[in-house]
């Protein structure tokens, strides 16, 4: 290799609605774990019209070194612009690694960038460790039923980091160095942003519900939602919700969807009925106080997250549970 | 007829499909590797099925559109190509690869690029991510390799062949939408949606069953070396108690009722 990659580990500041997305601080923790194995300094980079404020906030929260790439006109997310701006910059910096959030945005711009950089690329990273001197990354595999340990076979490394998998980075004693501000011209892009349509309105009750009864594809048919409704009726303050496939099938409206592309809920009790537990779903409910999972597949990933595991056909189990509730009433 | 006019008369769509094991296939791990039984059930990956449906809807709207289904995998992967033909794809191409270890996403994208590049498709569709591995890499990597504009997680699209444009809505975090306009040729990764994939027709299936599918060995396409290596698969550590209820259905129900009552959740 003519130029060994001895540059920084670059954390690209994650944004949501023009503000710093909290997952950014988890990316920094992941970068610190990577740096422990592969060396290198951590460098935060924010892109966009308001990059200076974002970079400053990320630096203050983590105590890290940051660069603001101020791009006049880049006032919304544009994956192609990200790739076109970052590829030459990371090349010049001889960056060892680039980290993005495992989100709709991160998954939009990072894979193409990895191709441009000739990087080893792993998405949904949940763990970083060193095994016999070698960097090993962990991600979910096989429908989330297994974890996969992966070794990159060279540098640079381009990864997306699973939200919730790494701790929130804390600032150290010393204040961060001042943010470096660089103005970058908006690159010419093939894709053109249009005016964004309004997003879905999430069910207000979902965010506030004390108990969420959630339906997955495993409920089999929409008629079985009635069973779940009766189950929900046993609890006070309970709301029905669903995984993406259930909403795609029209069994429930998208306003009831829990997960990466739906609502995030933190009820006291989450009853997962026929939900396999793919990361896209569990990202929206992993913070629930108590999780009960009902599924016929004993290997369903949801059981790894459950406080109580019920391996049963819900069309048999829920009626039995309802009988218990009604016995208590009489 | 000029090249440009001909291109307009037969717009070509490619749809990249992955065959995956049924999600309920029991998983056995031995020495860090998955052991499969050999009589497992396989499906078309969920999001790919939605992507294929989008392609077929475009064909329904513009009868001149030609849909080519492409899938990379071992011989059994031809089943998803036959299903695609059954659903209405015009042709299918199989890229034959080994199964263990499965090729990395970057290798799959490179093989697809080697095939698709010279065929000059107007639009390439893939699923947003595979159902089993969930990398979300093949589509956007393929776009970059072919130097095509790309939109991921697309939930709505409007193809304007006259203007050589496609307008899309992609899904962002929390279900928010972003609207984009891309010049053709372009690549879109399709997110699942309300538009349920159609069933194959019997006549198409019978024809597909007999068809000899063009098959190319990825070795002949010059698949690049892997940039990542799977060292081992292992079972996840339980993040919570994961108390497994035992006994009859009723006994489990009684137990759960007692637990929830004790925790004042009921």
Nearest to A190 among B32, B178, B183 (CB): B183
Q: Residue B133 has which token pair?
A: 């591995």
Mean pLDDT of chain A: 95
Share of chain B above pLDDT 70, in %: 97
Structure confidence by residue, pLDDT tens digits, A47-77: 999 999 999 999 999 999 999 999 999 999 9
Under 8 Å CB-to-CB from B40, ≥6 apart: which residues? Answer: B21, B22, B25
Asked if B41 has any chain A CB less than 8 Å from its own CB, the reply is: no
Query: Rounded distance, CA A215 to CA A196, Å?
Result: 30
How big is the A-B interface in CB pairs under 8 Å? 262
pLDDT in the model for residue B170: 96
In the prediction, which pLDDT does A1 show? 45
Residues present in chain A in total = 330
Q: What is the pLDDT of residue B7?
A: 47
Judge whether residue A324 has pLDDT over 60: yes
SS3 assignment, position A262:
coil
Residue closest to A252 by CA, chosen among A285, A286, A229, A268: A229
Query: Is residue A314 within a helix (H) or strand (E), and if so which, with residue range?
Result: helix A314-329
- pLDDT digit string, tens, across residues B84-120: 999 999 999 999 999 888 999 999 999 999 999 999 9
Dmax (CA) for chain A in angstroms is: 80
Give dist(CA A10, CA A176) in Å, integer.
Answer: 16
pLDDT for res B90: 97
Q: Is the pLDDT of residue B197 over 80?
A: yes
Predicted TM-score (pTM) of the model is 0.95
Residue of B nearest to A84 (CA): B144
Number of neighbours of residue B247 by Cβ within 10 angstroms: 10
Q: d(Cα B84, Cα B213) in Å, to the nearest integer?
A: 12
User: Which residues does chain A have within 8 Å of residue B133's beta carbon, measured at their own beta carbons?
Assistant: 141-142
On the question of pLDDT at A157 being above 70, the answer is: yes
pLDDT single digits (tens) A5-42:
999 999 999 999 889 999 999 999 999 999 999 999 99
Q: What is the ipTM of this complex?
A: 0.95
- Name the H helices within A63-192: 79-93, 106-117
CB-closest option in A189, A198, A306 to B242 = A306
The two three-digit tokens of residue B211, written as one number = 């068809």
For residues B117-148, b (16+ Cβ closer than 10 Å) or e, as one string?
A: eeeebbbbbbbbbbbbbbbbbbbbbbbbbbeb
- Which residues from A are below 8 Å from B259, CB to CB? 308
Share of chain A above pLDDT 90, in %: 91
Asked if the Cβ–Cβ distance from A104 to B183 is below 8 Å, we say no
Yes or no: say if B105 and B126 are a contact pair by the CB < 8 Å rule.
no
Q: Is a pLDDT exceeding 80 seen at residue B5?
A: no
Residue B38 has what pLDDT?
A: 81
Cβ–Cβ < 8 Å for A104, A261: yes
Give just the sign of the alpha carbon dihedral B224, B228, B229, B235. negative
Cβ-contact B57, B67 below 8 angstroms: no
Please name the helix (run of DSSP H) or strand (run of DSSP E) that holds residue A294, with its range, or none. Answer: strand A290-295
**CA angle A39–B107–B109, rounded 5-degree value:** 110
Residue B237 forms contact with A (CB below 8 Å): yes
A73 Rama class: left (phi>0) / alpha (psi -120 to 50) / beta: left
Q: Are B238 and A302 in contact (CB under 8 A)?
A: no
Integer angstrom CA distances of residue A311 from B167, B197, B256: 45, 30, 12
Contact across the interface for A79 and B150, Cβ inside 8 Å: yes
Measured between CB atoms, which of B229, B249, B254 is closest to A312?
B249
Residues in chain B within 8 Å Cβ distance of A83: 144
C-alpha distance from residue B22 to each of A210, A243, A272, B43 (Å): 34, 18, 20, 6
Closest to A96 in 3D by CA, of A182, A11, A181 = A11
Residue A330, pLDDT above cutoff 70: no
Mean pLDDT of the B181-209 span: 96
Which of B5 and B126 is assigned the larger pLDDT? B126
- Decide if B264 touches A, using CB distance below 8 A: no
The confidence band for B8, taking pLDDT boundaries of 50, 70 and 90, is low
A161-206 tens-digit pLDDT: 999 999 999 988 899 999 999 999 999 999 999 998 887 777 778 8
Dist CA B167 CA B160 (whole Å): 8
Contact B255, B139 (CB under 8 A): no
Give the distance between the most distant pair of CA atoms in chain B: 79
Beta strands, E only, B102-250: 123-127, 150-160, 165-171, 177-183, 186-190, 215-217, 228-234, 243-244
Q: Yes or no: say if B177 and B170 are a contact pair by the CB < 8 Å rule.
A: yes
């Amino acid at each position: 290799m003519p130029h060994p990659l001895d540059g920084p580990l670059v954390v690209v500041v994650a944004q949501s609605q023009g503000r710093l997305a909290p997952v950014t601080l988890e990316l920094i923790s992941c970068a610190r774990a990577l740096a422990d194995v592969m060396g290198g300094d951590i460098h935060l980079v924010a892109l966009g019209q308001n990059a200076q404020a974002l970079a400053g906030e990320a630096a203050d929260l983590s105590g890290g070194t940051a660069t603001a790439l101020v791009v006049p006109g880049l006032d919304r997310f544009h994956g192609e612009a990200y790739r076109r701006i970052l590829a030459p910059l990371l090349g010049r910096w001889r960056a060892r690694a680039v980290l993005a959030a495992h989100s709709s945005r991160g998954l939009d711009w990072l894979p193409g960038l990895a191709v441009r950089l000739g990087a080893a690329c792993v998405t949904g990273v949940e763990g970083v460790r060193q095994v016999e001197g070698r960097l090993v990354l962990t991600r979910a595999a096989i429908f989330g039923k297994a974890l996969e340990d992966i070794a990159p076979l060279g540098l640079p490394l381009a990864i997306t980091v699973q939200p919730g998998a790494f701790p929130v980075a804390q600032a150290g004693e010393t204040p961060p160095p001042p943010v470096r501000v660089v103005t970058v011209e908006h690159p010419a892009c093939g894709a053109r942003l249009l005016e964004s349509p309004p997003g879905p309105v999430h069910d207000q009750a979902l965010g506030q519900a004390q108990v969420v009864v959630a339906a997955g594809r495993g409920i089999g048919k929409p008629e079985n939602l009635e069973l779940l409704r009766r189950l929900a009726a046993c609890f006070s303050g309970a709301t029905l919700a669903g995984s993406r496939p259930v909403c795609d099938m029209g069994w429930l409206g998208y306003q009831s969807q829990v997960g990466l592309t739906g609502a995030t809920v933190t009820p006291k009790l989450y009853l997962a009925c026929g939900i396999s537990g793919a990361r896209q779903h569990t990202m929206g409910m992993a913070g629930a106080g108590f999780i009960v999972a009902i599924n016929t597949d004993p290997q369903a990933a949801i059981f790894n997250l459950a406080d109580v595991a019920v391996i049963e056909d819900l069309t048999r189990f829920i009626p039995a549970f309802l009988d218990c509730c009604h016995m208590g009433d009489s | 007829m000029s090249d440009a006019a001909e291109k307009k008369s037969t717009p070509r769509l490619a749809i990249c499909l992955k065959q995956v094991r049924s999600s309920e296939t029991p998983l056995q791990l031995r020495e860090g590797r998955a052991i499969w039984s050999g009589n497992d059930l396989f499906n078309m990956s969920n999001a790919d099925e939605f992507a294929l449906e989008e392609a077929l809807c475009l064909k329904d709207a513009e009868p001149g559109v030609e849909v080519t289904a492409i899938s990379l995998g071992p011989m059994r992967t031809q089943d998803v190509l036959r299903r695609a033909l059954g659903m209405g794809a015009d042709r299918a191409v199989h890229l034959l690869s080994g199964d263990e270890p499965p090729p990395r996403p970057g290798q799959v994208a490179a093989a697809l690029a080697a095939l698709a590049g010279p065929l000059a498709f107007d639009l390439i569709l893939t699923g947003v991510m595979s159902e089993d591995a969930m990398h979300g890499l093949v589509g956007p990597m393929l776009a970059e390799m072919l130097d095509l504009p790309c939109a991921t997680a697309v939930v709505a699209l409007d193809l304007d062949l006259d203007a050589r444009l496609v307008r899309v809505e992609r899904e962002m975090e929390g279900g928010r939408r972003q609207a984009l306009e891309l010049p053709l040729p372009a690549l879109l990764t399709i997110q699942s949606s309300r538009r349920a994939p159609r069933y194959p027709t019997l006549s198409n299936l019978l024809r597909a069953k007999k068809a000899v599918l063009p098959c190319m060995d990825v070795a002949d396409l010059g698949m690049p070396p892997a940039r990542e290596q799977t060292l081992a698969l292992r079972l996840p550590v339980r993040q919570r108690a994961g108390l497994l209820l035992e006994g009859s259905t009723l006994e489990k129900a009684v137990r759960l009722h007692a637990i929830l009552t004790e925790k004042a959740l009921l």
